[in-house]
């Protein structure tokens, strides 16, 4: 009898979580601010970039999000990982950057910037990045974008890159 009751409870819990989460995304809601923004509700544009022209130069890649759905919230920093040649490097947040909680109504936009130092092609300290993977705060889903801005310099190794993520800023009014 106890086994049946536990099974029924587990199934009911799974159904409740499925009903709350939408299309498989993991998001939270506080009732008045909307749920965490997720990729199934926003349009993303990576670039155009201010590309670092040669090794040692700094470049910036803006990432813009426009809410296409119900109100949602960005509360924290975007997660960003650069990948290339079997190596994955999680980017740190910019020194001194402070995250702010942004509420995005349908049509509102926000952006953040990936700042990087271009590495020397073929150098053991450079990551030959080919992909940028982004996660949004409060959501477990991710999206991948082509990285075409050259190798990224490492601090002491290719897995410790000189690249960082800024805080979100709201676009428009």
Structure letter (DSSP) for residue 9: H
The residue ranking higher by pLDDT, 36 or 173, is 36
- Average pLDDT over the chain reads 81
pLDDT band of residue 33 (cuts 50, 70, 90) is low
Question: Does residue 20 surpass a pLDDT of 60?
Answer: no
Long-range pairs for 138-141: beta carbons < 8 A, 24 or more residues apart: 138/27, 138/28, 138/35, 138/36, 138/37, 138/73, 138/74, 138/75, 138/76, 139/25, 139/26, 139/27, 139/36, 139/37, 139/38, 139/39, 140/25, 140/26, 141/24, 141/25, 141/26, 141/38, 141/39, 141/40
DSSP string covering 17-31: HHHHH-SS----B-S
> CA–CA distance from 66 to each of 4, 58, 62, 164 (Å)?
46, 26, 13, 22
Q: How far apart are the first and last CA of the chain?
A: 60
- Residue 151 scores a pLDDT above 70: yes
Q: What pLDDT digit, counting tens, does each position of 40-56 carry? A: 999 999 998 899 999 99
Residue reference for tokens 């909307």:
34
Mean pLDDT of 109-115: 97
Tell me the CATH number for domain 2-171.
2.60.40
Give yes or no for a contact between 77 and 139, defined as CB atoms under 8 angstroms apart: no
**Annotated domain spans of the chain:** 2-171
């Amino acid at each position: 009898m106890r086994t049946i009751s536990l099974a029924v409870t587990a199934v009911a819990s799974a159904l409740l979580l499925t009903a709350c989460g939408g299309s498989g995304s993991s998001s939270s809601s506080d009732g008045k601010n909307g749920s965490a923004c997720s990729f199934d509700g926003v349009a993303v544009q990576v670039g155009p970039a201010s590309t670092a022209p040669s090794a040692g130069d700094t470049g910036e890649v803006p990432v813009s999000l426009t809410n296409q759905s119900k109100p949602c919230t960005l509360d924290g920093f975007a997660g960003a990982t650069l990948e290339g040649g079997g190596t994955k490097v999680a980017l740190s947040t910019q020194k001194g950057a402070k995250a702010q909680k942004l509420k995005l109504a349908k049509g509102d936009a926000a952006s953040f910037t990936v700042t990087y130092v271009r590495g020397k092609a073929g150098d053991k300290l450079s990551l030959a990045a080919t992909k940028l993977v982004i996660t949004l705060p409060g959501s477990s889903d991710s999206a991948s974008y082509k990285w075409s801005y050259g190798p990224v310099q490492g601090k002491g190794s290719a897995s410790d890159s000189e690249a960082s993520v800024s805080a979100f800023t709201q676009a428009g009014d």
